[in-house]
Amino acid sequence: MSASDLQSAPSAQEAAPPRPAWQVLLIRPETMTLALLVLAVFAGAWLSPFFLDISYILRSFTLYAEFAIVALVLTMVIIAGEIDLSPAANMALSACVFAWLQQAGLPVPAAVAVGLAAGLAMGAFNGLMVIGLQLPSIIVTIGTLTLYRGLAQIIAGDKSIRVPEWFIGVDKIMVLGVPLPVVIFIVLALALGFLLSRTIVGRQIYQIGTNEVAARHAGIRSARIKFGLFLAVGLVSATAGMMTASRLGSVRYDLGLGGELQMVLMAMLGGTYIFGGRGTILGTFLAAWLLVLVSTGMIVANVLPAVQLVVLGILLVVSIIATNFIYSRTQR
């Protein structure tokens, strides 16, 4: 451009410093999660000496690790502007498929493979309904949540199916003193965190969630990416189902019942915006620990289950309000 030398008037372009770093940090949604997490650690330590025992915390975490693992992938789905409420039912159905097949005599590895394939198929079914038929994902997955759970009950009846002895106990396997499910959670968080923040696909997930029409105009294949995300949730849910089966030693149709709410709670506590476009893996990662600390803390302190729910609800509301308040302050 030839006119650059004409730009003699002092323009805002050079003069303007970027937004101060503390503000950038404050409006990051995970900041609130981290603050609550630190608070929870102190409160817990005050309540019970167990809280200073890291291996106790890690063991408690294994009870939530399956949900936490799925919540990581679910976070990406929510950022892309969709939702999937069927993962817990998917966990149950794929675990039931697996357990039933191995009981019927199929070798365990083959049964696991079929179970995972079933999870993938469930994800594909969700994806087809949402992307192919353009139905709202919240409605589709409320439907499939019921459907998958119902199928699980048809397959397994209301008995529990035992799994072979050697298959039991993923949560007892230690890697450098850390239970395997926790290791899987941490590794997956690192991988997905990298995917979401450093790669083109991750970038495009945010763009789709922010403005899907604009994303399509920019040549972003939003249908493909969203379908991939539904597949990923399906596969990871099935894996989580197998892990739960291994931890419990037996499978029933009500495995993981109500887990979808825990998963959504983790994502939202971590600052993921329910309408898409905002959120991070780090946030969900921190929120999972927060949830575990608070839940076990309350169990240790003998808090009534009903009160526990109330506390979790308050946590969620506080973190959402605080994030939004700070965010809107900086906008005026």
Site of interaction with ligand ATP (CB under 6 A):
12, 331
Contact 281, 192 (CB under 8 A): yes
4 binds another protein (CB under 8 A): yes
Token readout for 267 is 């994502």
Q: What element of type H or E holds 174?
A: strand 174-175
- DSSP letters along 116-156, please? HHHHHHHHHHHHIIIIIS---HHHHHHHHHHHHHHHHHHHH
Decide: 233 and 74 in contact? Cβ < 8 Å: yes
Per-position x/- string for 7-46, each x denoting binding to another protein as judged by CB under 8 A, each - no binding: xxxxxxx-xxxxxx--x-----------------------
Q: What dihedral do alpha carbons 313, 316, 322, 325 form, nearest 10°? A: -90
- Looking up tokens 């690192």 gives 190
- Please say which residue, 324 or 330, places its beta carbon nearer to another protein: 330
In the complex, least distance from residue 32 CB atom to another protein, rounded to whole angstroms: 18
Tell me how far, at minimum, the Cβ of 28 lies from ligand ATP, in Å.
17
Per CB under 8 A, the list member of 81, 241, 277, 279 interacting with another protein is 277
Task: Extract the tokens encoding 75.
Answer: 């976070």
Name the token pair of 145.
């949540």
Q: For ligand ATP, which residue has the nearest CB?
A: 12
Q: Are strands 174-175 and 178-179 parallel, antiparallel or unpaired?
A: antiparallel
Report in angstroms how near the CB of residue 278 gets to another protein at its nearest.
Answer: 7
Site membership for another protein, residue 109 (CB under 8 A): no
> What is the smallest separation between the CB atom of 191 and another protein, expressed in angstroms?
13
Angstrom distance (rounded) from CA 242 to CA 92: 9
Q: How far apart are the first and last CA of the chain?
A: 35
Nearer to ligand ATP, 104 or 332 (CB): 332
| Residue 130 within binding range of another protein, rule CB under 8 A | no
**Rounded least distance, CB 11 to ligand ATP, Å:** 9
**Member of 133, 176, 200, 304 binding another protein (CB under 8 A):** 200
CB of 15 to ligand ATP, least distance (A): 10
Using only C-alpha atoms, what is the Rg of the chain? 22
Q: Applying CB under 8 A, which of residues 91, 97, 192, 220 lies at the interface with another protein?
A: 220
Q: Which positions lie near another protein, rule CB under 8 A?
A: 1-4, 6-13, 15-20, 23, 198-201, 203-204, 206-207, 210-211, 213-221, 277-278, 330, 332
